[in-house]
Homo-oligomer: A and B are copies of this chain.
Amino acid sequence: MADQFTPKPEHKFSFGLWTVGNRGRDPFGDVVRPALPPVDAVALVAEAGAWGVNLHDNDLVPIDATSSERDRIVKDFKSACDRHHIVVPMATVNLFYDPVFRDGAFTSNDARVRAYAVQKTLRAMDLGAELGAKIFVLWGGREGTETDACRRADEAVKRLREAVNYLCQYSIDRNYGFRLALEAKPNEPRGDIYMATTGAYLGFIPTLDRPEMVGVNPEVAHEQMAGLNFVHAVAQAWEAGKLFHIDLNDQVPGRYDQDFRFGSANPKSAFWLVKFLEDVGYDGARHFDAHAYRTEDYDGVREFARGCMRTYLILKERAKRWNADMEIQGLLEVPSSGSSGSGSLPARDALLAQNFDRAAMAAKGLAYERLDQLTMEVLLGVR
């Protein structure tokens, strides 16, 4: 029953192995679903209509696998990907599950842990490269504190920089062609995580040895946990040429990391996001980093995956309709100014000499209530 909201490869929808493979464990409850082997996860997302899968090293290869086990696993996985016409656009590294990382990986006080974390990442880069990934994501889930007694936060920044510089050099040395995408999160599983927002990483990147190789991977839920406007963060990253990847899901502000189905917590903010990505011509993966409710079996997981993509495509169609709406476009015109774009400030002396009529400039309403209500009606499909 394909319709206009049926996903196709050109939509570049991808899912993490860990997303459809999430077994529903949480801080207060046990797993509710049996383990889903990676090759079955590939089949599931393919059947749902996705284009790609992404993975942490240990989503595929157990942390203590021997070299030959690893090679066999990777071979089977590649074969499953080929069979299902699934690509691996992004790879990442798990630096948070094992107890060795309980106080950080790249920022740990223990030099051995830092070294091990880098070594593990190099091997994850090898794996990602072997699978054809061109984006390598770094989420420092354990890089943080419960008490700021443990280290000075500026020292953590220095350690993080050393590690990322090391990784960039490795990608160059090995000719992997990776672009690194840094993913921020304010808290959970640590009390506070360093580099809490996408903005923090945008500030960090210019201090690196190879800033051109490094961008960001903003995640809806991570920014919304802090109650921030996600589109504003994405727009700043895009404008700086740093939107290398994106994690789509949903989240009620001010809560634990919910990783809900895309759009399901707040379809209006999801609409602005889809509209932005489509309007600017973002051509990277639309990656869903979410998981099914704990009430679901694997049929429910499949519905979850379909719903993520379907909602994206519905909102994309709504964005198109918004752009084509004559009344909306009329309201966006700024009649008082022939030069409303940027680059338009008068030269200094002319500007200083100018007289402005504040009252006149403030007199006319901007009709944003009408504009937003029209948006509501486009979104809800009554216009």
Contact = CB atoms under 8 A, between A and B. Distances in A.
B158 A239 contact: yes
B189 A147 contact: no
A180 B16 CA distance: 43
Nearest to A376: B311
A16 B204 CA distance: 31
Contacts of A31: 99
Contacts of A261: 369, 372-373
A116 B147 contact: no
B256 A253 contact: no
A298 B366 CA distance: 11
A196 B228 contact: yes
This protein's copies in its complex: 4
A367 B28 contact: no
Q: Indicate the size class of the contact surface on chain A.
A: 35 or more
Interface string A278-322: 011000000000001111111111011011001100110010000
A13 B346 CA distance: 39
A255 interface: yes
A119 interface: yes
Contact of A369 (B141, B253, B292): B292
B345 A203 contact: no
A233 B263 CA distance: 24
Interface in A52-107: 63, 96-103
Contacts of A195: 199, 236
Contacts of A362: 32, 98-100, 102
A112 B368 contact: no
Contacts of A159: 342
Contact of A256 (B205, B257, B272, B356): B257
A232 B149 contact: no
A148 interface: yes
A122 interface: yes
Given A255-B255, A311-B380, 4 more contacts: A119-B351, A155-B341, A192-B229, A300-B368
